[in-house]
Amino acid sequence: MFKRFKVRLRTTRRLLANLPSDPKAIIHAVRKSRASVGLDTDEEAVKSEAEELLQSMPPEATQLVFLRDGKGIYLRERNVKGLLKEVAKVLGKRTYFEYIRHGMYVEEDRIYLKRDGKHVEKPDGTEARGISVVTMRGPRSALKEAEYLEPPVEIEFTLEIIPYVLRRMGGAEGLREMLEIGGKIGLCGDRSLGMGRFEVVEFRELR
């Protein structure tokens, strides 16, 4: 029923965390993230996911953090689907949105980040940067802290896609092209500053 593809990406720029560790902020982030991929945004579903994510954060969490467990730092299916949706938007292919939401899936529940073939267990450091924010009392300066991973880091997963959807998106060649364009957009935080960029080092159909 599905076509399956092995995908391996390798970062070429610093990867910055973008998940807030503050409980109130994470509820807002979860609601926005679920809406972007067509999931329910009712209070119970949002609260349940937020609690699960908070359990996957380090106790000494800084402002923006990576998810992690006993194996190491990981991304989720939503990171991949969100990136492909952004590429579709850039290409003016809004009809792809529903294909991405309901016609393709990442086989792994957790996409572990690897370096030299081993799981990355902790970030390489924390980056602090001054930012401007607009409050009820006008513009203010604030400090933004985010965990980061220096390149190269590899992101490997299996993408499952309904054959009809694959054909509508230009076949295997079209899907690879979307991933390569996504490499210029980047993953995770501060993509507008060129962070999180990657190259596609492996893309092949599994038989």
Report the distance separating Cα 54 and Cα 47, nearest Å: 11
Classify residue 195: in a domain, yes or no: yes
Classify residue 56: in a domain, yes or no: no
Classify residue 115: in a domain, yes or no: yes
Q: What domain range is 192 assigned to?
A: 3-16+69-122+149-206
CA distances from 33 to 46, 168, 195 (A): 10, 25, 20
pLDDT at 25: 63
Classify residue 25: in a domain, yes or no: no
pLDDT at 59: 57
pLDDT at 130: 54
pLDDT at 133: 46
Classify residue 41: in a domain, yes or no: no
pTM comes to 0.79
Rg of the chain on CA atoms, in Å: 17
Classify residue 63: in a domain, yes or no: no
pLDDT at 58: 62
pLDDT in tens, the chain (207 residues): 899 999 999 999 999 998 887 666 667 777 877 887 778 888 888 778 777 776 666 655 558 899 999 999 999 999 999 999 999 999 999 999 999 999 999 999 999 999 999 999 999 999 886 545 454 555 655 557 899 999 999 999 999 999 999 999 999 999 999 999 999 999 999 999 999 999 999 999 998
Classify residue 138: in a domain, yes or no: no
Classify residue 34: in a domain, yes or no: no
pLDDT at 94: 92
Q: How far is CA 62 from the centre of its chain?
A: 19
CATH at residue 202: 3.30.70
User: How many domains are there within the chain?
Assistant: 1
